[in-house]
A = this chain, B = another copy of it.
Amino acid sequence: MKIGIVGGTGDIGEGMAMRLSPVYDVVVGSREKDKADASCDASTNLLKQRGQECSLSGQGNQSCVDEADVVILAIPYRNLVSTLETVTGFEGKIVICPVNPMEKRDYFTFVPPAEGSAALLAKRLLPADVRVCSAFNTIAANKWRALDEELDYSVPVTGDDGAAKREVMNIVNSVSKLQAFDAGPLAASSMVEALTPLLLNIARYNKMRDVGIQFR
């Protein structure tokens, strides 16, 4: 199975690619293919130095989607609409949306679109047969990149298609000690996306860094 990471050279995408590529074929997408190639070379070298096999290749975002069976939208919320309006060919694929619509005022706050969540907005913009799931919302960029650290967190996953959700939960469970939890239908994704600004507030007001969660 091939996983495409749109925005794969970004803050979260690069670490995500390194964590997933020892298990899956990963296509790193970027608006500029050169940037994707450079990121893949650097990541492949880093993983080789650690003695880890990997399968990483760079592409423009469009080829990334074309090649992939599962697409992760590793992009900031502000780029979500423009990306989904310019990239095509999602038909029949599983799309994972880890996007959190939020703003920093005095504190971080959840500011969802009219659809209720970024995942529901993505579903509205994508072709009808795309199976959209939300996942990976609360894992901080620094944690994705810190390959020496175990990711010992719970990951809520939402989606309307049972088979797609199980596939996404398997992908989650393949990374370090991440543990996937079924958090219900895609309509419940707003409560998952609201977790991230909450965790950023917890970090800020308690002088912590990169706070995650565990359900127990």
Contact = CB atoms under 8 A, between A and B. Distances in A.
Interface of A: 106-110, 152-153, 156, 181-185, 187-188, 190-192, 194-195, 197-199, 201-202, 204-206, 208, 211-216
Contacts of A181: 202, 205-206
Nearest to A192: B198
26 contacts: A107-B185, A107-B188, A108-B184, A109-B188, A110-B190, A110-B194, A156-B202, A181-B205, A181-B206, A184-B201, A188-B197, A188-B198, A191-B194, A191-B195, A191-B201, A192-B198, A194-B194, A195-B195, A195-B198, A208-B215, A211-B215, A212-B215, A213-B213, A213-B214, A213-B216, A214-B214
A197 B183 CA distance: 10
Number of copies: 2
Nearest to A196: B191
A191 B197 contact: yes
Among A204, A205, A212, A213, max chain B CB count under 10 A is at: A205
Given A195-B198, A215-B211, A216-B214, A205 B183 contact: yes
Contacts of A202: 156, 181-183, 215
A184 B108 CA distance: 9
B201 A188 contact: yes
Contacts of A107: 184-185, 187-188
A1 B156 CA distance: 40
Nearest to A212: B216
A185 B181 CA distance: 29
Nearest to A152: B216
B213 A215 contact: yes
Nearest to A199: B215
A199 B191 CA distance: 10
Given A109-B191, A198-B183, A216 B206 contact: no
A172 to B, nearest CB: 13
Given A107-B185, A181-B206, A191-B194, 17 more contacts: A106-B185, A108-B188, A109-B188, A156-B198, A181-B202, A182-B206, A183-B205, A184-B204, A190-B194, A194-B194, A199-B215, A211-B216, A213-B213, A213-B214, A213-B215, A213-B216, A214-B214
